[in-house]
């Protein structure tokens, strides 16, 4: 057999050399061999080698006709470039022996699996071999060492195992060797030191062990050396100090120890030096920015001692600096200067002292500044707030004194602020109200005093707030109830007094609540019954009394040290009957006489108001306005009748009928006597406010009942009484898009074309609301939870509860916020809600449909380092629960991804209108002239 193949090869060369009329014959043999390989692929329809065909009668030549095939002047194949061609198959049938003239082979970005055959060594003219980003496994064949013309060898991002063969050292012309992100083990072969012209060596992301051989120091031409994320140990060879052409040196995430060659400081072209997460000790090179091009200097989580390199002070090129988790000492007041490009710096957990330099304020790009866990003294300089791009500021666990500067109000990009564990005092400045992007705020363990300001209620994105261990006094501001995303709230160890505000029930995301060690009085509000998310409660050491709420979380709550809490929980005395009775009888009354009892209710409200003199003014106003409330409704039905029927069908809004819960209300399923099923959205709060604004609201609601569109849930009516306000909608059996996407089995049923259909439907609905309604209607809260599906998965936009008609003359702001992750960024700065906010949310939603989860969740679940995002294409990040889309559908998904990017533009003016979006999607299948799928993960995320 081998003999026969060898003869065939002779024959081909013979033909090429001597008989030009027979060129076609030569290439047709090559064509035949290639077709045999192609025939071995799985899932033929998924690759795009459709131009590969062969008609024996015509002696077809593959040259320049077949996708990815080029030939030399003699008509023999010398280049195969099939990168990203959807190939699923092995290299076992690859015609190594039939293609003796191959020089360039690029098969990257396919789904090749199995081993690399050792016959590859017969491609003796090979200059360029790229098999990266496939699923190849097994060992790297030592026979590769025979390809002695090879300049570029890319086998990265496969599943190759075993060790790196010594024979690679024979590839004398090799310039670029990339074996990163495989499962390679063993040590780095010393023979690599023979590759004297090597410029790029990428071995990161393997399981290489042992020491870095001193022979690496022979690679005098090396520019990029990446050895991160392995298990290398021992100290660095001194010869590393000879590699003076190095621009990029990455050694992070190994177990390397000892000191680093001080010569590294003299490398004139050094641009990035990454040594994080090793066991390095000794001093850092003082002159580290000698060439003036250092951008990245990250040496965190080691045991470095001594001072911060002096060379950093005037190193204007710096972008990213990590020195955290070492034992660096010295006064940092004057170690750092002003840096035009600095984006990230972490100096935390060292032994640094001195004051915070005001020069940080002169770093216009600075997004993250962390100096936690040092010995900083003095106060926080107000000048720091000139760095308005700061997203994360962590100065925790130092010895800072003084007040928080009022100028902090300028740091409107802040997402995370940690000043805990210092000696800061004074009130929280009211300027904090402008930090509307903030999500995480820790001011605990300081000496802040006075009251907790109500402006915290404007920080609508907060999900973590810790004010514990301070000297805050007075009442807990009821405005905190607006923080619907709050999940952890700690106000413990202060001197707070008064009642726990009942408004806290609207913090529907709250999981952990600590109010212990304060001076809170009164009853724990019964409204806590509704807070289903609560898991962990501590209300110990206050002056609380009365029955504990009917909420499971209170079964395990810490409640000791109070005045007289009662209930059926271990450690508490059972409640005395009369108290409990009072509660339940009132509830029952409200349920049984919802409509006719208005008069009685008014009386009751009057009595209650009389009793609760101590309640705050706001609450009194609400109750008084309820007193004047009468039942009204807008619908095509008899409203009064419908009200009664709904109360009956839901058994007075019993939880067993509840099918969903949101920030403003709960949704119930109600089967009316007529047999029709409706969805009822009941607001947590009853409709209050002045007569005028209520009228306006009702007019708006009336307009919503006029809307008819196949992709908008039918709105049937609205009812309000003294104690319930609810909206009535058509009921859709299949449930919400969010529920389906989060369910493995259901999500699989939502195939690619269905997902395209859903995105289109939502676009049409929004287009209708924005452009066909006068005045336009902005939804304000487009999320996957608000997209309901018919049984044929036709989408229906629901929940106009938050929609308000756009009145161009008035301020459009209401306290109702959209949903975290979907809210347009400008809402942090302006109060103006426009159609463009919906366009933004639509962009978020569209991407969620094709990724299968929300972008934020997607990124955090993604296992690749963010540096590779620019190389990851859309098709690789599509919802993995579905099989890959056909090329036509992929085209549509690419269009959706691009629209999503445009819709999420940070400038509202630059976003397309829904009319444009809807139009592009409608004409989608007809136009096929779009470019290829070159949308990368980086673009999708917009890092
Ligand atoms: C090929 O397609 C079939 C059916 O579409 C699928 O079950 C199989 O997993 C695919 N093979 C590969 C390697 O993706
Ligand atoms: C293969 O083609 C791609 C794009 O078509 C190109 O970027 C790449 O450089 C080519 N590879 C070779 C070895 O020519
Ligand atoms: C092959 O198809 C993919 C999409 O499946 C496309 O991105 C790629 O550019 C195509 N490659 C060639 C060589 O046409
Ligand atoms: C290397 O990979 C091959 C193919 O996946 C596998 O059969 C073999 O067990 C692996 N060897 C080691 C040492 O993991
Ligand atoms: C709690 O309130 C009581 C009565 O007003 C007062 O005597 C006591 O000092 C307060 N305790 C704290 C810790 O503020």
161-216: per-residue pLDDT in tens?
999 999 999 999 999 999 999 999 999 999 999 999 999 999 999 999 999 999 99
pLDDT value of residue 630: 33
pLDDT value of residue 374: 96
Residue 483 C-alpha to ligand 5 middle, in angstroms?
Answer: 28
Mean pLDDT of the 363-373 span: 95
Q: Compute φ and ψ for 281, nearest 5 degrees.
A: -135, -175
**Looking at the predicted structure, is the pLDDT value of residue 458 above 90?**
no
pLDDT value of residue 933: 66
Burial per residue of 552-578, b for 16 or more beta-carbon CB atoms within 10 angstroms, e otherwise: ebbeebebeebeebbbeeeebeebeee
**Looking at the predicted structure, is the pLDDT value of residue 3 above 50?**
no
Distance CA 106, CA 98 (A): 17
pLDDT value of residue 828: 65
**Looking at the predicted structure, is the pLDDT value of residue 617 above 80?**
no
Tens digits of residue pLDDT in 141-152 = 999 999 999 999
Sheet with 303-305, side-by-side order of all strands? 209-210, 231-235, 255-258, 279-283, 303-305
Mean pLDDT of the 833-845 span: 91
Per the CB < 8 A criterion, the answer to whether 77 and 69 are in contact is: yes
pLDDT value of residue 273: 96
**Ligand 2 contact, 85 CB (< 6 A):** no
pLDDT value of residue 599: 32
Q: Is residue 781 annotated as part of the catalytic site, yes or no?
A: yes
**Ligand 2 contact, 440 CB (< 6 A):** no
Residue 609 C-alpha to ligand 5 middle, in angstroms?
Answer: 27
Residue 550 C-alpha to ligand 5 middle, in angstroms?
Answer: 29
pLDDT value of residue 204: 95
Tens digits of residue pLDDT in 38-94 = 999 998 777 788 888 766 556 667 887 888 999 988 889 999 999 999 999 999 999
pLDDT value of residue 57: 57
Tens digits of residue pLDDT in 555-597 = 888 998 998 888 888 778 888 754 443 343 333 222 222 333 3
The bound ligand whose nearest atom lies closest to the alpha carbon of 114 is 4
Mean pLDDT of the chain: 83
**Ligand 4 contact, 186 CB (< 6 A):** no
Ligand 5: lining residues by beta carbon, under 6 Å? 495, 519
Residue 38 C-alpha to ligand 1 middle, in angstroms?
Answer: 16
Mean pLDDT of the 487-508 span: 91
**Looking at the predicted structure, is the pLDDT value of residue 381 above 70?**
yes
> In angstroms, what is the C-alpha Rg of the chain?
34
Nearest CA to ligand 1 atom 13: 88
Q: Compute φ and ψ for 320, nearest 5 degrees.
A: -140, 125
Q: Which of 435-449, 512-526, 624-638 has the lowest mean pLDDT?
A: 624-638
Minimum-distance ligand 5 atom for the alpha carbon of 518: 13
Q: How many CB atoms are closer than 10 A to CB 390?
A: 25
Residues 868/869/875/877 CA torsion (nearest 10 deg) = 100
pLDDT value of residue 629: 33
Please list, in sequence order, all residues whose beta carbon lies within 8 angstroms of the beta carbon of residue 920, skipping any fewer than 6 positions away: 895, 899, 912
pLDDT value of residue 50: 82
Confidence at 926, pLDDT banded by 50, 70, 90: very low
**Ligand 4 contact, 138 CB (< 6 A):** yes
Q: How many CB atoms are closer than 10 A to CB 615?
A: 17
pLDDT value of residue 829: 63
Tens digits of residue pLDDT in 880-899 = 899 888 888 888 898 899 89
**Looking at the predicted structure, is the pLDDT value of residue 610 above 60?**
no
Q: Give the mutation target among 138, 159, 185 for probing the ligand 4 site: most ligand atoms within 8 A of CB.
A: 138
pLDDT value of residue 612: 38
Residue 675 C-alpha to ligand 3 middle, in angstroms?
Answer: 54
Ligand 1: lining residues by beta carbon, under 6 Å? 42-43, 88, 883
Residue in 106, 253, 781, 891 annotated catalytic? 781
Q: How many CB atoms are closer than 10 A to CB 750?
A: 22
Please list, in sequence order, all residues whose beta carbon lies within 8 angstroms of the beta carbon of residue 433, skipping any fewer than 6 positions away: 409, 453, 455, 458, 459
Most confident of 295-304, 772-781, 916-925: 295-304
Nearest CA to ligand 1 atom 3: 43
pLDDT value of residue 621: 37
Tens digits of residue pLDDT in 693-708 = 566 566 666 667 777 7
């Amino acid at each position: 057999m081998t003999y026969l193949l060898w003869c065939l090869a002779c024959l081909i060369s013979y033909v090429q050399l001597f008989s030009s009329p027979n060129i076609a014959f030569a290439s047709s043999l090559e064509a035949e061999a290639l077709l045999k390989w192609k025939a071995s692929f799985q899932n033929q329809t998924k690759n795009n080698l459709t131009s590969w065909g062969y008609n024996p009668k015509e002696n077809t030549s593959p040259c320049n006709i077949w996708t990815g095939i080029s030939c030399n002047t003699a008509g023999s194949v010398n280049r195969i470039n099939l990168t990203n061609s959807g190939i699923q198959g092995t290299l076992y049938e690859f015609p190594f022996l039939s293609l003796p003239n191959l020089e360039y082979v690029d098969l990257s970005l396919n789904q090749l699996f199995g081993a690399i055959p050792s016959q590859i060594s017969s491609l003796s003219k090979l200059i360029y071999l790229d098999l990266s980003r496939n699923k190849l496994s097994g060992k790297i064949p030592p026979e590769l060492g025979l390809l002695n013309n090879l300049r570029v060898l890319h086998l990265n991002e496969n599943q190759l195992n075993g060790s790196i063969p010594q024979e690679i050292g024979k590839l004398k012309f090799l310039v670029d060797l990339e074996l990163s992100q495989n499962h390679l083990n063993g040590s780095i072969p010393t023979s690599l030191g023979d590759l004297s012209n090597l410029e790029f060596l990428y071995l990161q992301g393997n399981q290489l062990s042992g020491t870095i051989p001193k022979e690496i120091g022979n690679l005098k031409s090396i520019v990029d050396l990446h050895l991160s994320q392995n298990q290398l140990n021992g100290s660095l060879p001194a010869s590393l100090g000879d590699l003076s052409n190095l621009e990029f040196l990455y050694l992070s995430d190994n177990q390397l120890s000892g000191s680093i060659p001080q010569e590294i400081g003299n490398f004139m072209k050094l641009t990035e030096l990454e040594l994080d997460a090793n066991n390095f000790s000794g001093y850092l090179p003082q002159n580290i920015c000698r060439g003036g091009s250092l951008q990245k200097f990250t040496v965190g989580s080691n045991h470095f001692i001594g001072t911060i390199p002096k060379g950093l002070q005037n190193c204007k090129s710096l972008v990213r600096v990590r020195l955290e988790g070492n034992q660096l000492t010295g006064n940092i007041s004057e170690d750092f200067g002003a840096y035009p490009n600095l984006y990230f710096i972490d100096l935390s957990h060292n032994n640094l002292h001195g004051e915070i330099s005001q020069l940080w304020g002169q770093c216009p790009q600075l997004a993250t500044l962390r100096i936690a866990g040092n010995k900083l003294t003095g106060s926080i300089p107000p000048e720091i707030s000139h760095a308005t791009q700061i997203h994360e500021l962590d100065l925790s666990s130092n010895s800072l004194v003084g007040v928080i500067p009022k100028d902090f109000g300028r740091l409107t990009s802040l997402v995370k602020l940690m000043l805990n564990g210092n000696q800061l005092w004074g009130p929280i400045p009211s300027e904090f109200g402008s930090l509307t992007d903030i999500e995480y705020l820790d001011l605990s363990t300081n000496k802040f005093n006075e009251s907790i300001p109500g402006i915290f209620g404007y920080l609508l994105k907060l999900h973590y707030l810790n004010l514990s261990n301070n000297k805050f006094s007075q009442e807990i501001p009821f405005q905190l109830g607006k923080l619907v995303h709050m999940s952890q709230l700690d106000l413990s160890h202060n001197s707070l007094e008064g009642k726990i505000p009942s408004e806290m029930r609207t913090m529907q995301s709250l999981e952990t609540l600590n109010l212990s060690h304060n001076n809170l009085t009164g009853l724990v509000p019964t409204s806590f019954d509704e807070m289903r998310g609560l898991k962990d409660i501590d209300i110990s050491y206050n002056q609380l009394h009365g029955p504990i709420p009917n909420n499971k979380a209170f079964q395990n709550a810490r409640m000791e040290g109070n005045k007289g809490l009662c209930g059926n929980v271990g450690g508490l005395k059972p409640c005395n009957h009369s108290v409990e009775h009072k509660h339940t009888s009132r509830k029952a009354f409200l349920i049984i006489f919802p409509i006719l009892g208005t008069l009685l209710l008014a009386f009751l409200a009057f009595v209650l108001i009389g009793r609760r003199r101590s309640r705050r003014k706001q609450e009194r106003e609400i109750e008084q306005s309820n007193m004047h409330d009468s039942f009204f409704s807008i619908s095509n039905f008899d409203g009064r009748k419908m009200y009664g029927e709904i109360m009956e069908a839901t058994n007075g809004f019993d939880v067993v009928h509840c099918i969903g819960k949101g920030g403003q209300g709960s949704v119930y399923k109600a089967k009316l006597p007529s047999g029709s099923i409706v969805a009822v959205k009941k607001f947590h709060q009853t409709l209050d406010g002045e007569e005028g604004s209520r009228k306006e609201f009702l007019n708006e609601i009336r307009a919503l009942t006029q809307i008819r569109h196949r992709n908008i849930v039918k709105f049937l009516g609205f009812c309000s009484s003294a104690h319930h306000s609810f909206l009535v909608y058509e009921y859709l059996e299949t449930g919400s898009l969010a529920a389906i996407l989060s369910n493995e089995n259901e999500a699989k049923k939502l195939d690619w074309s269905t997902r395209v259909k859903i995105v289109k439907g939502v676009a049409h609905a929004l287009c209708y609301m924005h452009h066909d309604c006068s005045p336009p209607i902005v939804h304000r809260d487009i999320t996957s939870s608000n997209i309901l599906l018919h049984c044929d998965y036709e989408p229906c936009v629901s929940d106009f509860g938050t929609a308000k008609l756009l009145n161009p003359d008035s301020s459009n702001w209401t306290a109702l916020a959209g949903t975290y992750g979907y809210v347009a960024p400008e809402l942090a700065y302006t109060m103006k809600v426009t159609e463009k906010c919906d366009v933004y949310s639509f962009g978020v939603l569209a991407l969620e449909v094709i990724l299968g989860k929300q972008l934020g969740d997607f990124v955090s679940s993604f296992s690749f380092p963010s540096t590779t995002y620019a190389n990851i294409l859309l098709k690789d990040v599509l919802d993995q629960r579905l099989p890959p889309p056909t090329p036509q559908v992929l085209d549509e998904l690419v269009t959706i991804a691009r629209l999503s990017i445009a819709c999420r533009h940070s400038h509202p003016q630059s976003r397309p209108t829904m009319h444009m979006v809807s139009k592009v999607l409608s004409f989608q299948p007809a136009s096929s002239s779009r470019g290829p799928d070159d949308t990368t993960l980086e673009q999708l995320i917009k890092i």
